Structure 1
Amino acid sequence: MNEIALRIYEAGHLPVLGEWYALPLIATAGSKSIGDDVFNRIFHPSFIRLLDCCDAVLRVGGPSQGADEMVRVAEEKGKLVYWHLDELPSVG
């Protein structure tokens, strides 16, 4: 994901990944493992909050229920969803 984020940045956009926000919060809140109560309270909900600040979503990678859920929520919020890096509009 970070490699794709770098490519997005180099194309003139400002990428954000939910993990960049969620993981430090989860650690600070005392999560002991993926899927514990603290993790579940913060991980996916932070992505949903982040979507309100984003113009679009780029869905990359393989099968992922979490990523598919984020796409579904993004579409509900009326956000653009891209499926390939080369679909992103040019900046500048």
Structure 2
Amino acid sequence: MMILVAGPYRSGTGDDPARIQANVDAMTDTALALFRAGHLPVLGEWYALPLVERAGSTGIGDAVFDEIFHPIARRLVAKCDGVLRIGGRSAGADDMVATARAHGKRVFHALDEIPSAA
């Protein structure tokens, strides 16, 4: 299955780059586990951040960032088989879960909930 990993990005970080990176690392670690289980993991950040930079964003939460960051993840969810929600509070990750449900996609809350790819 192609599964979007949805977790906090900015939430609880105060926009501190090291704390944001820790959130991305947690999502990436989960993506690696999904890959090793035979699935195709994706993160919205993998798609959005290069485009945000190319489009000229000057900082997290500016108009260019907001134009691309969550909208691209919503489009990605529509193409996925499901969403794996990880981590703590996050309006954005909760939005990805709601988007998945609106598209009739599966929502998981732990790796062990995901069927084997075998």
Give the TM interval when normalised to the shorter protein. over 0.9
Q: Which structure shows the bigger proportion of residues in strand conformation?
A: 2
Per chain length, whose mean CA-contact separation is higher, i.e. which structure has more relative contact order (CA < 8 Å, sep 6+)? 2
* Structure 1 residue aligned with 2:88: 62
Deviant stretches of 4+, over 3 Å:
none
Residue 41 of structure 2 aligns to a residue whose secondary structure is coil
Does the residue aligned with 2:107 lie in a helix, a strand or coil? Answer: strand
User: TM-score scaled by structure 1?
Assistant: 0.98
Q: Which residue of 2 aligns with 1:48?
A: 74
Q: Whole-Å Cα distance in 2 between the matches of residues 84 and 20 of structure 1?
A: 21
Q: Provide the C-alpha distance between the structure 2 equivalents of 1:14 and 1:27, rounded to a whole number of angstroms.
A: 25
**Distance in 2 between residues matched to 1:31 and 1:81, nearest whole Å:** 31
1:52 match: secondary structure:
helix
Structure 2: which 5+ runs fail to align?
1-26
Q: Secondary structure at the match of 1:57?
A: strand
Tell me the secondary structure at the aligned position of residue 27 of structure 1.
helix
**Percent identity among equivalent residues?**
59
- Whichever residue aligns with residue 9 of structure 1, its letter is F
2:110 paired residue among 77, 81, 84 = 84
Counting matched residue pairs gives 92
Aligned-pair CA distance for 1:51? 1.0
Matched with 1:6 is 32
Taking the aligned partners of 1:61 and 1:44, their CA distance within structure 2 comes to 17
How far does residue 57 in structure 1 lie from its aligned partner after superposition?
0.3
